Amino acid sequence: MEVNDVLVQQLADLARLEFNDQEKIEIRGDLQRMITFVEKLNELDTTDVKPLLHLTDDYNVFREDKVIPVITREEALKNAPSATEEYFKVPKIIKK
């Protein structure tokens, strides 16, 4: 596939980008190198290669989520400058 000025302009329009002439030349070269690389990868025989879903064989290496209450609501609210029985009171910052 050949990358030309028309293709670069179409991609710029789709992405809502504007490029000067020097940037278009650089982008055309970058796109051509990327397409050449992908075309080179297409030459490989991948018929017996399984798709890579995960980089390792590890499964669920994270710890199990457990709800552990650290402090009670009353303990959290007792040091608040202003609070109700259930919530922190904060000053209003949005004015209409």
Instruction: Answer whether CATH 1.25.40 is correct for domain 5-41.
Output: no
pLDDT (tens, 9 = 90+) of the chain, 96 residues, equals 788 999 999 999 999 999 999 999 999 999 999 999 999 988 889 889 888 887 877 777 688 888 887 888 888 888 888 988 888 988 888 877
Residue 25 Cα distances to 13, 18, 45, 94, angstroms:
16, 13, 33, 49
Q: What pLDDT shows up at residue 92? A: 86
Q: What pLDDT shows up at residue 37? A: 93
Considering the entire predicted model, what is its pTM?
0.48
- Return the domain boundaries, the chain: 5-41
Cβ atoms of residues 88 and 94 within 8 Å: no
